[in-house]
Each structure stands twice: as structure tokens, then as C-alpha cells.
């Protein structure tokens, strides 16, 4: 019983951890420790914050494996702190900044309202759905796009290697962010050409300028709610459907369907929720979709219902090394 009490009370204060983590992110503590350990006083001098308060925050984070405090009260990088740096491969700093931003934080504080009425509180708090709210709002849009690019880096190679692409053809990555996934796909398949469809403000920062894929890509400004370029061999919706409502998902799928030929394939790359033994990561992601968006992590059956409403059908579900699966889709 004592252990249960400690667990519940500790979990009730769980919000303090992401708050403390955000302090470390915003002050770039990990970056300041790159050249060696420092005390809280030294770090406070570098960052312009209150030294005793910073010491207490870093000591708390050390209990979670973010930093390590030695016997002379100097703080060291740990593996978990290392990936908060900006200058390392697979840095999660942009994603952690997004997940601890008020755009995610405030709707979580009103999760009870969401459960009562079935809709995210985001729209009520910020005056518009997330994607409308960040559009054209430079700092917020960049934060979200960089976070998605960071997350994609850890999974895109495994996804590309899990699908047997043909030797030639055209792939359109719909709302593909900065183009990291498309770049990886084209580099692994030298006979393919690619199109990155995105908002103009996102395309200005694309990452497709890579000698390995030179001459085989182009960008296109577009909105998958309105229209997508017709006649491609493959259309990709990666981490798109899961943060959309059923109604918006069907709208997107119908738009893609109208552009597809009978030979085209749509690849939906998302979590496909099993009926049992759901992983903790998929469960967390599902609650995040509930909290910030009006989406969900769907089962294969739920995805098939959406596809049917758009005159599409699932051909197969292909697992990848990570949490995502590839749902291969054809026109009916």
C-alpha cells in the first residue's frame, strides 16, 4: 500500500519534470556543459539566471538522469542530456521544446474539459486549431516544423528500407515538412524522382539540397485539403492522419484519391494500433492526439473505414523497425 501511495503522489506532481526540463532547454544548459562540468553558479553566470534556483532545478533533473551532480556540486552531461545539445546527431532539443511549449502544456491542463465534451481545448485557448494557429507565425511554425524533422530523423531510414519501391517512378510527399524523409527515400532509390508538397513558409527552409539526389526533386506549394498534383506513382502521408479528426482525414484522403491513377499507391505511415498489447509509446501518442489535436492513433479496422469513405482500400500493412507501420493503399 505504501508503494501505491508513493506512486500516485509522485505521479500527481509529474508536471514538474517537463517544467524543469524546459528551464534546462531554454537556458541551454547542455550546450554550456559541452566543454566540461560546471557548477550551478557558473552556469547561472553564463545564462543570467538565479544560481540557487538553477541548482535546485538541475539537482531535480539529475534524479531523472538528465545531468549528473558530482561531489563538488558540478554538473556533468549524461547520455540523456547529450541529446539536448544542438550540435549532435539525433538531437531531440526541438521536439522537447515543442512538447514543453504552452501549445501542448495548456491543453493538457484542460484535459478534463476534453474528456467531458470530446474535443481538444486547444481551439478555445488559442482561438484556432493548431495548424491554423501556427501558419504564418514564424517562431511557432518553425518550432513545430523543426520538431517534426527531428523526430523523423530517427525513423525515416527504417521506413524506407521496409518498403520495396520500384526502380523508377515519382513520389509525392504530402505535407512532408523540411523534406528529410523524401531526401532519405530518394537517396536510397536512385531511380525515383520526388516532389515535396508543403506550405510556402515551410518550403523556404527545405533540406533537399543534397548532391546525392541532385536533379531528382522539386517542391510544390499546396494544401492537401484542396488539391494535390495528379498522376504520381506514390503519395505519402507520414504522421498526418493520426492528428486529424475522422472528417478531416476523409477530406484529405478524398483529395488524394482524386489525384491517383489506378496504378498509384498511397502510403500512410502512422501508428497502426493493435487491438491488444498496445505499447506505452502508442498509448501516450494517442492521448497526445486527444489533448492537442482532434486525432487518434487508429486500428487497422478504423483506418479501413476512413479509406472506404474515400473510395480507397488497404492492400497490406507493413511493419517497420520503429513504432510506425506502412499502410499500402490503392484506389477502389
pLDDT at 300: 96
Strands (E), the chain: 38-39, 68-69, 74-76, 169-174, 192-198, 217-221, 234-238, 265-270, 312-319, 325-331
Pick the CATH number of 2-86 from 1.10.760.10, 3.40.50.150, 3.10.20.70, 1.10.10.10: 1.10.10.10
44 near 54, Cβ under 8 Å?
yes
DSSP for 7-38 reads HHHHHHTTTHHHHHHHHHHHTTHHHHTTTS-E
pLDDT at 138: 84
Pick the CATH number of 149-331 from 3.30.420.280, 1.10.4160.10, 3.40.50.150, 3.20.20.70: 3.40.50.150
Collapsed DSSP state (helix, strand, coil) of residue 196: strand
pLDDT at 1: 87
Q: Which of 50, 55, 82, 242 is catalytic?
A: 242
Query: Burial of 231 by CB count in 10 Å (0-12 exposed, 13-18 middle, 19+ buried)?
Result: exposed
23 near 40, Cβ under 8 Å?
no
pLDDT at 89: 87
pLDDT at 125: 97
270 near 289, Cβ under 8 Å?
no
Q: Rounded to whole angstroms, how far apart are CA atoms 165 and 163?
A: 6
Q: Give residue 277's region: left, alpha or beta (phi > 0; psi -120 to 50).
A: left
HSE-CB of 2 using CA atoms within 13 angstroms: 0
pLDDT at 75: 98
Question: What is the spatial order of strands in the sheet that 169-174 belongs to?
Answer: 217-221, 192-198, 169-174, 234-238, 265-270, 325-331, 312-319
| 242 among known catalytic residues | yes
Q: Rounded to whole angstroms, how far apart are CA atoms 184 and 212?
A: 10
Per-residue confidence in pLDDT tens, the chain, 332 aa? 899 999 999 999 999 999 999 999 999 999 999 999 999 999 999 999 999 999 999 999 999 999 999 999 999 999 999 999 999 988 999 999 999 999 999 999 999 999 999 999 999 999 999 999 998 778 999 999 999 999 998 899 999 999 999 999 999 999 999 999 999 999 999 999 999 999 999 999 999 999 999 999 999 999 999 999 999 999 999 999 999 999 999 999 999 999 999 999 999 999 999 988 888 999 999 999 999 999 999 999 999 999 999 999 999 999 999 999 999 999 99
pLDDT at 155: 93
Cell 541548482 belongs to 55
pTM: 0.93
Q: Rounded to whole angstroms, how far apart are CA atoms 217 and 210?
A: 10
Domain boundaries, the chain: 2-86, 102-147, 149-331
Same fold, 2-86 and 149-331: no
Task: Kindly give the residue spans of alpha helices, DSSP state H, lying in the chain.
Answer: 2-12, 16-26, 29-32, 40-47, 51-62, 79-82, 93-99, 102-109, 111-117, 122-126, 130-134, 138-153, 156-162, 180-188, 200-203, 246-259, 280-292, 300-309
pLDDT at 137: 72
Cβ neighbours for 228, distance < 8 A, ≥ 6 positions apart: 172, 174, 197, 222, 235, 255, 256, 259
Amino acid at each position: 500500500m505504501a508503494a501505491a501511495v508513493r506512486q500516485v503522489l509522485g505521479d500527481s506532481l509529474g508536471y514538474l519534470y517537463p517544467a524543469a526540463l524546459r528551464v534546462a532547454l531554454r537556458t541551454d544548459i547542455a550546450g554550456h556543459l559541452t566543454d566540461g562540468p560546471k557548477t550551478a553558479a557558473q552556469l547561472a553566470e553564463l545564462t543570467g539566471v538565479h544560481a540557487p534556483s538553477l541548482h535546485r532545478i538541475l539537482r531535480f533533473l539529475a534524479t531523472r538522469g538528465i545531468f549528473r551532480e558530482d561531489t563538488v556540486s558540478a554538473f556533468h552531461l549524461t547520455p540523456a542530456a547529450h541529446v539536448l545539445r544542438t550540435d549532435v546527431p539525433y538531437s531531440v532539443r526541438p521536439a522537447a521544446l515543442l512538447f514543453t511549449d504552452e501549445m501542448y502544456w495548456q491543453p493538457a491542463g484542460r484535459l478534463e474539459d476534453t474528456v467531458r465534451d470530446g474535443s481538444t481545448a486547444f481551439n478555445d485557448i488559442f482561438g484556432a486549431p493548431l495548424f491554423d494557429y501556427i501558419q504564418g507565425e514564424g517562431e511557432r511554425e518553425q518550432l513545430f516544423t523543426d520538431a517534426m524533422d527531428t523526430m523523423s530523423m530517427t525513423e525515416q531510414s527504417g521506413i524506407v528500407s521496409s518498403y520495396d519501391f520500384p526502380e523508377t517512378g515519382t513520389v509525392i510527399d504530402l505535407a512532408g515538412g523540411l523534406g528529410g524523409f523524401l531526401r532519405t527515400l530518394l537517396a536510397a532509390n536512385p531511380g525515383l524522382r520526388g516532389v515535396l508538397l508543403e506550405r510556402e513558409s515551410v518550403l523556404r527552409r527545405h533540406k533537399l539540397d543534397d548532391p546525392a539526389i541532385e536533379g531528382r526533386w522539386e517542391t510544390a506549394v499546396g494544401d492537401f485539403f484542396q488539391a494535390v498534383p495528379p498522376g504520381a506513382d506514390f503519395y505519402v502521408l507520414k504522421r498526418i492522419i493520426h492528428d486529424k479528426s475522422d472528417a478531416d482525414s476523409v477530406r484529405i484522403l478524398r483529395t488524394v484519391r482524386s489525384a491517383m491513377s489506378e496504378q498509384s499507391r498511397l502510403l500512410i505511415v502512422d501508428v497502426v494500433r493493435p487491438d491488444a498489447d498496445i505499447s506505452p509509446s502508442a498509448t501516450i501518442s494517442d492521448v497526445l492526439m486527444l489533448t492537442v489535436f482532434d486525432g487518434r492513433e487508429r486500428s487497422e479496422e478504423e483506418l479501413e473505414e476512413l479509406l472506404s469513405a474515400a473510395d480507397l482500400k488497404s492492400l497490406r500493412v507493413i511493419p517497420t523497425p520503429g513504432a510506425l507501420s506502412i499502410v499500402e493503399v490503392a484506389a477502389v
